[in-house]
Amino acid sequence: MYKSLAPNHQPKMTLEDSISHLKSGLVGMGFEDKEFRDSSLIRLKVLESHMAAGRLNRSLVWRCEEQSQCNY
């Protein structure tokens, strides 16, 4: 179905090939950080931080009293 809806926007490689390339790249650069999911740069951590600070609500909508405060 997707092929008929977006014929000019098809994947250039399979999921298996994508995973293989990702793994090869990580191994090639010597990536060994087993705690990488705890990084403050992981999207979920960033969202949790905004929510804890009251800038983002549970529906992931910015809380702004004035429009100028929404420049995160």
Q: Give tens-digit pLDDT for 18-31.
A: 999 999 999 999 99
Q: In the predicted model, what is the mean pLDDT of the chain?
A: 89
Residue entry with tokens 């995160």: 72
Which two tokens mark 72? Answer: 């995160």
Residue 26: CB atoms within 10 Å: 13
Query: What percentage of the chain reaches a pLDDT higher than 90?
Result: 68
29-53 pLDDT per residue, tens: 999 999 988 888 899 999 999 999 9
Who wins on pLDDT, 65 or 53? 53
For the chain, what are the domain ranges?
39-72
